[in-house]
Amino acid sequence: MGRADRKASVERNTKETKINVTINLDGSGVCNVSTGIGFLDHMLEQLSRHSLIDLDVKAVGDLHIDFHHTTEDTGIAIGEAVKKALGDRVGITRFGSALCPLDEALTRAVVDCSNRSYLIWKVGFSRPKLGDFDTELFREWFQAFSQSAGLTLHIENFYGENNHHIIESSYKALARALRQALTIDVRAADSVPSTKGTLSDNN
């Protein structure tokens, strides 16, 4: 897969969810998302808009049970699509970081597109739910996404009072960090950004 076509589609079907994802890493932030979970849709719209990744997501899940499976599996599918679109990761900047405020809340995201998955999550909430959405599920989404995409990802909220602001600043920070990390480095466009010479699995 060449860098001129950093696009991918992923289909994930289980007894719990059916998800289709199409992405374009070199898009303009066009987003068409339907998961059946309004707040998750809103966060994925933020991710797409601020990363400039075109994102199309259609998810049908067992929402009559709860939001867990749909939230986690959507993170998995989007992560798999990012990994597929990145291919051999030649030419990418690889590292990205961003500080994003939303009113009183401030969150930092730092990402390494290393193909080694790791999540540091330092985000707390003062309420167990945002509407019908369990706030503990946000960590599940970030964990699933980073694991499937092959990203080392650190998310840290420094302060904030409004739980909506805290999580939205987290998604926006991730988006901006990804935008930086996934950009092709014009000074090293034909090389892998690693002294190993590869960013393949398990390296």
The better pLDDT of the pair 187, 142 is held by: 142
Q: Using a pLDDT cut of 70, give the percent of the chain over it.
A: 93
Radius of gyration over alpha carbons of the chain, in Å? Answer: 16
Model pLDDT, residue 194 = 61
Q: CA dihedral defined by 120, 197, 78, 3, rounded to 10 degrees?
A: 140
- pTM recorded for the entire structure: 0.94
Residue with the two structure tokens 């369990």: 134
Note the residue count of the chain: 203
Task: Report DSSP state, residue 114.
Answer: S
What is the reported pLDDT for 12? Answer: 97
As a whole number of angstroms, the distance between CA 174 and CA 170 comes to: 6
Q: Where are the domains of the chain?
A: 3-182
- SS3 state of residue 52: coil
Q: Mean pLDDT score of the chain, rounded to an integer? A: 93
Domain 3-182 has CATH 3.30.230.40: yes
Q: What is the dihedral of CA 68, 69, 75, 79, to 10 degrees?
A: 150
Residue 191's pLDDT is 74
What does the pLDDT look like over 13-49, one tens digit per residue? Answer: 999 999 999 999 999 999 999 999 999 999 999 999 9
